[in-house]
Structure 1
Amino acid sequence: MEKKAHVAVFPFPFGSHPTALLHLVQRLAAAAPAVQFSYFNTTNSNQKVFSKMNLNGYDNIRSYNIDDGVPEGHVFSGNPVEAIELFIKATPLNFRKRLEELVEATGLKVTCLLTDAFLGFSADIAEEMGIPWVAFWTAGPTALSLHMYFDLIHRNLGLTGRTQNSEQTLDFLPGMSAIRASDLPEELQSLDKPDRPFSYLLQTMGLVVRRSSTVVLNSFDGIDPLVTADLKSKLKKVLNIGPFSLPPCQDQSGCLSWLDRHNAASVAYISFGSMLTPPPNELAALAEALEEKKVPYLWSFREDLKGHLLEGFFKRTSSRGKVVAWAPQSQILAHSSVGVFITHCGWNSMVESITGGVPMICRPFFGDQMINRRILADVWQIGIGLEGDVFAKAGTMNALDIVLSKENWNKMRENIGVFKESATKAVAPNGSSTENFKSFIDIVINISS
């Protein structure tokens, strides 16, 4: 019987991670139709992902639900990390069990493991099965490098909390001279704490990722060359395959036609990702600043529980504003009427803003977002941060004035243009990302022992 290539896919089921990995799997499935892809994810995450995407036309992708670790009848406290920690405690047994059930039921052995890099246990599973592990890193190269340098950071900074050595830079690391101790995510601020599963997961990942056969990133050559070169010297194989070209989404809320009615570079597009929105006092400050400055806005507002706080603002400004529960972000950022992106500064959003040519105002929350804010504001100069990294009325009005002023906007657009050109070249025929993706396909197809 001829051996068939079978790729088992494990996403980290929170935030934009599962959607990004499924988009990657769709690209692979289209390019390698003879390969079978099994996508394992929690029931709740699968429902969210497939409510926006479908697998019509992808006969070689199958999705499977796994246990999310949430006890029956569990009442959540409201802490967003709680669901993550319950999932981590159920992992990797939930993956192992479901994977074994699938192989036994189908007789189709797994030939490659493609997982979110967060899931470092994949190294052990792949090793036990004698197959390659490909790690997908959803953030930027700088964040990955910082996790890999965890021990050296602590030896140099002696961190025990965010307040200590906060202004000291990481100039002892390649390409990190602008990054400050205060920019580091909480997971890099303190030593291993097994009682804090998420921090422990990421600290472990920084060590384990070296065991992967390949690391793929939604990045492109030229965006961070010093850091990327250092990663390539420490990992077996690093493939920049971005920026991802996402399939056009149906604009059910009429965002694009609404933008068509506005002047060039006049609209503020606002979105803070799928995990968090600012607290009520900051939402109010942002709304007051937009209202006083009379800036047209398109706001992707996903949290129903907080939406009522701004009902009055939305009604008063309905003639120049639009609020939607979901928006086709990449298409919006490519629209000529969008002049600024007010964002949490997640990596995928930042890359989409670069490819759309839109300057940013950043309000980071956690993870790599503070790092991204530092790089785009101080190094690349394609956007700005907020004073204290929070929305206050005066500070937000000032930020809008700075970014939307003709001189500053043109300068930021010019700086973004350099990266946009690199991105365009990378995904062109024979471009670096295009060639790297071909190499990626070869890795997935190669089933020789």
Structure 2
Amino acid sequence: MESKKPNHVVVMAFPFGTHAVPLFNLVLRLAIQAPTLTFSFFSTSKSNQSVFGSTSNTNNIPRNIKPYDVDDGVPKGFTPKHPMDVFNFFIESMAENFTNRIRSVYGGGDEMKMMMIKCFIIDTFMYFGSDMADQLGVPLISFWTAGPSSLSTHYYTDLIRQTITLGPNGIDGREDELIDFVPGLSPLIRTSDLSEGVLFGFMELEFTHVKHKMGLALPRAAAVTMNCFPELDQPVLEDFKSKFQKCLTLGPLALTSHEYPSHTHDDPHGCLTWLEKQKKTSVAYISFGSVTTPPPDELAALAEGLEESGMPFLWSLKDHAVGQLPNGFLERTSRRGFVVPWTPQQQVLGHDAVGAFVTHCGWNSVMESITAGVPMICRPFYGDQRLNCRMVSDVWGIGTRIKDGVFTKYGMMECLDMIFSEEKFRAKVGTLRGFAKHAVGPEGSSTKNFKTLAKIVCDGC
């Protein structure tokens, strides 16, 4: 009897930060394109609940996407004292837990059921997926949720470590040394812009080893995909094309995901209604993503700068941090300021009242700001945020960084004045916005690359 063709695609999401949602949106497009395939979406229970929502909210999700929960690695009965505890437990056990869960879904010891799998789509952090795909002889798609330059620093980690020999004090005194020897990377990138674990910070943590391993695994993927477009980082992407089997830019995802049924939040706090009452490009929008909150002294300095500037502002600030604002700040600024715990960021940035984005420089936020044509004021904190900030301020010239890397009252006022008074920032980000729109158009690079990706995933189905 003839065996059935493989018709399952295994998706492995990284369940922290904003990694899972972009991957889900990509899978959503593929699931609509290939209704005869089943996309098995593996992530932790908490992440899946966030992505898929409650059962009542899944009506718009195609039936050929199936979520499966994976153990997060936290020992039963353990009470985390810090968010990093959960993260570290997950990292140390993710390869074993994902492998075991996938095998349990596909029959455990029944290798014939494993043969139902025709492709793997993984967050790039899930490097061990390369081994599973190799064992089954099926293609693997690696999806990088950040920017090309940050991926380059992980791919070339060994070269960077071999070229920059550090002393006992690490990069102390060498923070401004240029990384001008990595193929394609902007010569303006400095050692201090690198993510922790490349040259400094947490060198012995398991996550540092994970990032190194993922860099080494990239050439094994049938395609490395990312949320960007060529004009953002052409030299790095050209280098990738010579190193990877395929390098496919698919972004900005913010311009493609809205075409498909997806999990979209409404505007529970009335942000868009409030923006309707403001003048065009007059509002400073402040948000530091779902994870980061500046320290109390910086929150106070940021608030003082906003107050003295007289600028209208919309601030997405978690409830627990509101108490750290200066006494009377909310009352004194109530006529021109709006502080809420959550905003529909993509819609907010797209509103013509917003004239500047004060951001931590997470990649999704940077891409959404470019897509909306809004210049940025950058205060990065960790990971790829520092490198993204360097690209925004020094390479693309579409924003500025906070002086000395921390919020001060007068530093904030200076940045606001610069962004709102100098048209060069708005002009440059407007140019990139045009490239972004073309990329997702009928003849654009992202549209063509998605068709290439869909052919890899759907080949033979």
Tell me the TM-score normalized by structure 2.
0.92
Give the aligned partner of residue 58 of structure 1: 62
CA apart distance, 1:192: 9.4
Secondary structure of 1:93 counterpart:
helix
Identity %, equivalent residues? 45
- What are the equivalent positions in structure 2 for 1:276-315 lying under 5 Å apart? 276-302=292-318, 304-310=319-325, 312-315=328-331
Instruction: Report the CA distance between 1:139 and its aligned residue.
Output: 0.6
My pick for the range that moved more, 148-157 or 138-147, is 148-157
Aligned to 2:432: 419
Aligned twin of 1:30: 32
Residue of 230, 234, 237 corresponding to 1:228: 237
Deviation of the 1:249 alpha carbon:
3.9
Give the AA of the match of 2:238. Answer: A
Q: Tell me what 2:125 maps to.
A: 118
Q: Measure, in 1, the Cα distance between the counterparts of 2:126 and 2:251.
A: 21
Question: Structure 1 stretch 97-106 or stretch 354-363: which is displaced more?
Answer: 97-106
- After superposition, the CA RMSD in angstroms is 2.0
CA 1:190–1:175: 2 relative to 1, 3 Å: closer
Gap runs ≥5 in structure 1: none
Q: How far does the alpha carbon of each residue in 1:270-292 deviate from its partner, in whole angstroms, 9 at most, with x for none?
A: 11111211111111111111111
1:171-186 to 2 correspondences below 5 Å: 171-173=180-182, 174-186=184-196
CA contact under 8 A between 1:184 and 1:371: conserved in structure 2? yes
Which residue is 1:129 aligned to? Answer: 136
Query: Of the candidates 64, 67, 74, which is equivalent to residue 71 of structure 2?
Result: 67
Of 126-135 and 307-316, the range deviating more from structure 2: 307-316
Q: Is the 8 A contact 1:192 1:200 kept in 2?
A: no
Corresponding residue to 2:42 among 40, 43, 46: 40
Q: How many residues align?
A: 442
Using the alignment, how far apart are the partners of 1:159 and 1:56 within structure 2?
A: 53
CA-CA distance at 1:14 after TM superposition: 0.4
The offset of 1:337, in angstroms, is 0.5
Query: Mapping of 1:99-118 within 5 angstroms?
Result: 99-104=102-107, 107=113, 109-118=116-125
Read off the aligned partner of 1:8 and give its amino acid letter.
V
AA aligned opposite 1:101: S
Distance 1:187 1:266 in 2: 40
- Which of 431, 439, 442 is matched with 1:429 structurally? 442
SS of the residue aligned with 1:188? coil
String of CA shifts for 1:138-168, please: whole Å, max 9, x gaps.
0111011111111111122224634242111
8 A Cα contact 2:314 2:337, kept in partner: yes
After superposition, the Cα gap between the structure-2 partners of 1:48 and 1:404, relative to the gap in structure 1 and judged at 3 Å, is same
Deviation at 1:447, TM superposition (A): 4.9
Alignment partners' CA distance in 1, 2:68 and 2:185: 40
Q: 1:202 to 1:392 in 2, by over 3 A?
A: same
1:282-312 Cα distance to aligned partner (Å, 9 max, x none): 111111111111221111223x332322374
Instruction: Provide the secondary structure at the position in 2 that maps to 1:92.
Output: helix
Q: Give me the whole-angstrom Cα distance separating, in 2, the residues matched to 1:307 and 1:32.
A: 46
Q: CA deviation at 1:243?
A: 0.5
| Counterpart position of 1:215 | 224
Q: Map Cα deviations across residues 387-412 of structure 1 (whole Å, 9 max, x no partner).
A: 1211111111111111111xx1x211
Distance 2:348 2:291 in 1: 20
Match status 1:203 vs 2:212: yes
- For the residue of structure 1 that corresponds to 2:231, the secondary structure is coil
Q: Which residue of 1 aligns with 2:261?
A: none
Deviation at residue 361 of structure 1 after TM alignment: 0.4
Shift of 1:35: 1.3
CA contact (8 A) 1:5 1:446 kept: no
- SS at 2:213's partner residue? helix
Give the alignment partner of residue 152 of structure 1, picking from 140, 150, 159: 159
| Residue of structure 2 in register with 1:373 after alignment | 389
Q: Which runs of 5+ in 2 are unaligned?
A: 259-263
1:262 lines up with 2:253 in the alignment: no
Give how far 1:55 is off.
Answer: 5.4
Would the aligned equivalents of 2:124 and 2:142 in 1 still touch at CA under 8 Å? yes
Q: Residue 174 of structure 2: which of 143, 165, 171 is its match? A: 165
Quick check: 1:138 aligned with 2:145? yes
